């Protein structure tokens, strides 16, 4: 076990010290932060400001004018003056009495487009009561789905490939013979996977923190921003969104780590069959497909409850689909537990397959070892 930890430690240290890793991770966290913060910061003052604009008013201001809160009312002498003021731009819109108009007996003058805010202020809207409100509204659902899927896919690919390419580097530089003279192949594989899993989880945590910080900073106007403000508050206070977010996030972390081990065991095992870094890409294709197909299925079918239910049990898509379902609809406690059990069983199988590929081909240099041969024969 201490040997595994030594390998893990080396794997993490080398990786964390590489410039590419530092810059790559830094950039990802920065992008996550900006993606969350910018819509809020740039989303503008369209519906945030109390000041909705300047309205020209012809005639004595009555109760109606007083009801237009948030608008600045400017007295104008007659319809012609109002027309002039709107064209000049000294007012955003003007209300002129119009005997022929139905309803309020007013016509709104505006320059290029109908003033939505003024219209809204003048419209009577009945209250709406939703009898079965969704836990999470559409945009957040979509956002959460995309974030889970993108983060999962990106991080698994990134660190899985690191585990794979480090395997080939050890083979290519022949350091593998010295390593194998000291410890068995499965210890090396375990240490390598564990080291990258820790780094991957750390990166996910950094990304989530970046997102939350971005939402907080951008908190304000836009939908995203308001959501951010809520999250911010919720994280500061108690209950509310914390409850809503914490459960799927914790499940995501658990599923993520197990699924990462599954994918990287397969990737490192596949990578051991080649001897040159240039060949890694092609041997990783089958595993990539296993990760990519569920990823797109979740992205495309996140509104389809039936498909999502199935996807949340398929081990390759469960890490994305199950936390998403927990977030969006809430599921009974046993559902993620069963999905996790399926995932763990599949992971065990993947470790067995990956370990076999790895042990049987890690010392075979030269031409690529066929998966079939690597799987069957002992080195």
Partner 1 sequence: MLELEAVSRAFGSLQALDKVSFKVQPGRLTGFVGANGAGKTTAMRIAMGVLSLDSGQVLFDGQPTTPQIAARFGYMPEERGLYPKMGVREQLVFFARLHGLDLGRAQRNADDLLERLGLTARAADKVEKLSLGNQQRAQIAAALVHDPAALILDEPFSGLDPMAVETVMGVLRDFAGRGAPILFSSHQLDVVERITDDLVVIAAGQIKASGATEALRERYAGSRYRLVLPAATASAGEALIAASPGVSAVSVERVGAGGGQTASCLRVNFDATAELAQRLLAESLTLGPVEEFGRVIPPLSEVFKEVIA
d(CA 184, CA 211): 41
Q: How far is the CB of 190 from partner 1 (least distance, A)?
A: 13
- Contact between 221 and partner 1 (CB under 8 A)? no
What x/- string results for residues 349 through 368 when contact with partner 1 is judged by CB under 8 A? --------------x-x---
What x/- string results for residues 161 through 200 when contact with partner 1 is judged by CB under 8 A? ---------x--xxxxxxxxxxxx----------------
d(CA 94, CA 65): 12
d(CA 288, CA 153): 10
Number of residues that bind partner 1 (CB under 8 A): 23
Taking every pair of Cα atoms in the chain, the longest distance, rounded to a whole number of angstroms, is 99
Give the bridge partners for 106, in sequence order.
Answer: 97
Q: Which is nearer to partner 1, 257 or 363 (CB)?
A: 363
Q: Which is nearer to partner 1, 15 or 302 (CB)?
A: 15
Q: Which is nearer to partner 1, 11 or 92 (CB)?
A: 11
> Within positions 7 to 36, which residues make up the interface with partner 1, using CB under 8 A?
7, 10, 14, 18
What x/- string results for residues 118 through 157 when contact with partner 1 is judged by CB under 8 A? ----------------------------------------
d(CA 264, CA 6): 19
Q: For residue 180, with 0-12 CB atoms within 10 Å meaning exposed, 13-18 middle and 19 or more buried, which class applies?
A: middle
Instruction: Classify the phi-psi angles of 214: left when phi > 0, otherwise alpha if psi is within -120 to 50, otherwise beta.
Output: alpha
Query: Count H helices, E strands: the chain?
Result: 15, 4
Q: Which is nearer to partner 1, 169 or 349 (CB)?
A: 169
Q: How far is the CB of 260 from partner 1 (least distance, A)?
A: 24
Q: Which is nearer to partner 1, 179 or 344 (CB)?
A: 179
Task: Give, in order, the Cα–Cα distances in Å from 179 to each of 4, 6, 167, 321.
Answer: 12, 12, 12, 39
Q: Which residues sit at the interface with partner 1, rule CB under 8 A?
A: 3, 6-7, 10, 14, 18, 170, 173-184, 363, 365, 378-379
């Amino acid at each position: 076990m201490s040997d595994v930890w030594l390998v893990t430690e080396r794997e993490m240290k080398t990786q964390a010290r590489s410039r590419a890793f530092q810059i790559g991770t830094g950039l990802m966290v920065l992008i996550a932060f900006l993606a969350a913060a910018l819509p809020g910061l740039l989303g503008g003052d369209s519906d945030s400001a109390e000041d909705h604009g300047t309205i020209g008013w012809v005639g004595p201001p009555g109760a109606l004018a007083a009801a237009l809160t948030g608008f600045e009312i400017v007295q104008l002498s007659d319809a012609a003056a109002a027309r002039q003021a709107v064209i000049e731009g000294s007012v955003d819109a003007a209300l002129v009495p119009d005997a022929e108009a139905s309803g309020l007996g007013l016509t709104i003058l505006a320059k290029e487009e109908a003033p939505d805010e003024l219209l809204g202020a003048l419209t009577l809207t009945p209250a709406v009561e939703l009898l079965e409100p969704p836990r999470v509204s559409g945009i957040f659902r979509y956002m959460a789905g995309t974030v889970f899927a993108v983060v999962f896919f990106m991080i698994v690919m990134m660190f899985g490939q690191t585990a794979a390419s480090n395997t080939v580097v050890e083979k290519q530089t022949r350091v593998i013979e010295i390593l194998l003279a000291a410890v068995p192949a499965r210890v090396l594989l375990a240490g390598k996977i564990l080291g990258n899993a820790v780094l991957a989880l750390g990166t996910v945590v950094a990304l989530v923190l970046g997102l939350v910080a971005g939402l907080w900073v951008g908190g304000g106007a836009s939908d995203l921003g308001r959501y951010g403000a809520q999250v911010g508050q919720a994280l500061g206070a108690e209950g509310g969104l914390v409850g809503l977010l914490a459960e799927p996030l914790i499940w995501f972390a658990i599923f993520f780590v197990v699924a990462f081990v599954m994918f990287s065991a397969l990737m490192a095992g596949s990578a051991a069959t080649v001897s040159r870094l240039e060949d890694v890409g092609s041997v990783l294709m089958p595993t990539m497909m296993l990760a990519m197909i569920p990823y797109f299925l979740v992205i495309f079918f996140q509104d389809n409850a039936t498909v999502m239910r199935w996807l949340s049990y398929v081990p390759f898509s469960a890490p994305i689909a199950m936390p998403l379902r927990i977030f969006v609809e809430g599921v009974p406690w046993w559902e993620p537990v069963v999905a996790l059990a399926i995932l763990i069983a599949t992971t065990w199988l993947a470790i067995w397959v990956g370990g076999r590929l790895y042990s049987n081909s890690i010392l075979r240099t030269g031409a690529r070892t066929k998966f079939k041969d690597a799987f069957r024969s002992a080195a």
